[in-house]
Amino acid sequence: MSFLERHPEKPLLANRRLRAVIGVVVLALLAVPFVTTDALTGLILTGLVFVMLGVSWNLLAGYAGQISLGHAAFFGMGAFVAAWLTTPSAAGFPASIQLPILVAVVVGGVAAALIALIIGPIIFRLSGHYFAIGTLALAAVIELVMLDQRSLTGGSTGYYVQGDLAINDFVGHGDVMFLLTLVATVLTIAVTYRIVRGAGGLGMKAIHDDEEAASSLGVNPLKYKMYAFVVSSFFAGLAGGLYGHYTLYINPESTLAVTWTIDSLVIVILGGMGTFAGPILGSALFLLLDTGLAAIVGSVATTIEGTLIILFIIFLPQGLYGLAEDYLITDVGRGGASAAPKSSDATPGTDPDVVSDED
């Protein structure tokens, strides 16, 4: 079962060179709204949302081993709850509940986390395939109900979000939302990093590797699954709220669409499931694929995405992170699996005979 090697124990931030790189990247991102066009700012903001989605889904799926296909529901509910709070009149709520955007998107994240807290104990009665399909069905139910509740969501015509954080002619609403999203992304990464490096991460890893064994050693599987689920849903909801207040228009059909789940999954697989930096690398690649491919090969972009995730999961289960580690980090003397660059082809698990029959 251990085809996914995780490295929570690796002191990622202890590496000086890496720290410098992170600093430069964050600084460069801070400058984005001031030096690029609105369209490019929007594109990179989407990339940040991808990072939040990928990192949060990875915590649940990559670390705790719970393949949820319902991530979009939390993203979308975060977006809607935040929108209800900044624009209550459009949903028939009293104007008195109106909150500033910054508070509203946090409440959106909290609401998504609360939903996870309530349904978690029920949905975690399922495991494996049943859990995957159950979460897919749950997300579909939420989408259909929200679509039907026209007074709350605008139905298929959508919901207009009010918000204007523009500071002056030069720094517009979109630019401020970009900076907020950047802060939220850094926060998502930092909190998730602390969790996977701490006791929580160890517990998640234990139940992922062997739930029964972990349970007999006194690790409560439900506790760690819930931990991962609630935190993951919070950040997905936060991402949804931010994105909704950037676009200022949400719609049950697109905001709660299964596409967001697909994107999260593709990002994590490309980057390396169960690796910390994976989803971040994956988001960058996915953004390039999604926009770059669409421009070059247009109509077959999805086919290429599908093919890539199949090839990655079979032949490169550690994704880009695995590649990067083989080529780069081994240089610094912190070799992961093996120093041979192509070694990732031979990670345990690609050979069916190695794995014990579970019957």
Partner 1 sequence: MVAGELVSQSIVNGILLGGIYAVAALGLSLVFGIMDIVNLAHGHMLMVGAYVAILVFAATGITPLVGMFIAMGLLFVLGIVLQKVLLKHVVGEGIEQPIIVLFGLALILQNIGQLVLGGDARTADLGIPGDGINLGFAFLSLPRTVTFVVAVVLIGATWAFLQYTKTGQAIRATAQNRTAARYMGIDTDRIYIITLGIGTALAGAAGALLSMLFPINPFVGWSYLLKAFAVVVLGGVGSILGTLVGGVILGVSENLGALYLGGGYRNVVSLLIFLGVLLLKPEGLFGTGGGGE
Partner 2 sequence: MAGLAGCAFGGGGGGGDDTLTIAGTIPETGAFSSLGQDLRRGYELGQARMNEQLDRDVELILQDDESDAQTLRQNLQQMTSNNDVDMIWGSFSSLLVTAGSAFAENQNLPFLGIAFAYEAPHRNDNYEWTYAPFPKSRDVARSTLGTLELIPEGNRPNRVGIWEPNSGWGKEQADYWENRLGDAGYDIVLRETFEIGSQDFSTLISQSQSADVEVLLSNPTPGGGITAVNQMQSNNWSPKMLKFVRGADPSAWWSALSDAGAYALMCPGWVPGLTGNGNQRLRESYMSEYDTESQYMPVNVGGSYNLTQVALQAVQAAGSTEADAIQSALRSETFQTVIGEFGFEDNGLPAEGDLTAPTGQWWDGAQRLAYPNTGSQRALEFKYPIPSWSER
| Contacting residues toward partner 1, per CB under 8 A | 1, 3-4, 61, 65, 67, 122-123, 125-130, 132-134, 136-138, 140-141, 144-145, 147-148, 258, 262, 265, 269, 273, 299-303, 305-310, 313-314, 317, 349-350, 352, 355, 357-359
Q: Which does 39 bind (CB under 5 to 8 A by kind): partner 1, partner 2, none?
A: partner 2
Q: How far is the CB of 36 from partner 2 (least distance, A)?
A: 9
- Contact window for partner 2 (CB under 8 A) among 5-13, 48-56, 100-108, 147-155: 147-155
User: Binder to partner 2 among 118, 157, 297, 304 (CB under 8 A)?
Assistant: 157
User: Binder to partner 2 among 99, 124, 155, 222 (CB under 8 A)?
Assistant: 155
Alpha-carbon span 203 to 221, nearest angstrom? 8
Residue with smaller CB distance to partner 2, 42 or 335: 42
Note the Cα 152 to chain centre separation in Å.
26
* Non-local CB neighbours of 86 within 8 Å, separated by 6+ positions: 98, 99, 100, 101, 104, 161, 162, 163, 245
* Non-local CB neighbours of 244 within 8 Å, separated by 6+ positions: 79, 80, 82, 83, 161, 250, 255
Residue with smaller CB distance to partner 2, 38 or 351: 38
Q: How far is the CB of 234 from partner 1 (least distance, A)?
A: 23
Structure tokens that stand for 14 in this block: 């202890």
Q: How far is the CB of 306 from partner 1 (least distance, A)?
A: 3
- Contact window for partner 2 (CB under 8 A) among 64-72, 116-124, 245-253, 351-359: 245-253
User: Binder to partner 2 among 40, 118, 133, 328 (CB under 8 A)?
Assistant: 40
Q: Establish if 160 lies at the interface with partner 2 (CB under 8 A).
A: yes
- Secondary structure E strands in the chain: 159-160, 249-250
Residue with smaller CB distance to partner 1, 38 or 351: 351
Q: Which does 298 bind (CB under 5 to 8 A by kind): partner 1, partner 2, none?
A: partner 2
Alpha-carbon span 193 to 293, nearest angstrom? 31
Q: Establish if 93 lies at the interface with partner 2 (CB under 8 A).
A: no
Residue with smaller CB distance to partner 1, 16 or 129: 129
* Helices and strands of the chain, counted as H and E runs: 16, 2
Q: How crowded is residue 30: how many other Cβ atoms within 10 Å of its Cβ? A: 13
Q: For residue 175, give the nearest of 306, 40, 78 by alpha carbon.
A: 40
Residue with smaller CB distance to partner 1, 69 or 196: 69
User: Binder to partner 2 among 3, 93, 193, 249 (CB under 8 A)?
Assistant: 249
Q: Establish if 147 lies at the interface with partner 2 (CB under 8 A).
A: yes
| DSSP per position, 256-318 | T-HHHHHHHHHHHHHH-TT-SSHHHHHHHHHHIIIIIIHHHTGGGHHHHHHHHHHHHHHH-TT
Q: Are 185 and 283 in contact (CB under 8 A)?
A: no
Residue with smaller CB distance to partner 2, 246 or 321: 246
Residue with smaller CB distance to partner 1, 142 or 180: 142
Alpha-carbon span 341 to 47, nearest angstrom? 28
Q: Are 274 and 55 in contact (CB under 8 A)?
A: no
Give contact residues for partner 2 (rule: CB under 8 A). Answer: 37-40, 42, 89-90, 144, 147-148, 150, 154-158, 160, 173, 247-249, 251, 253-254, 295, 298
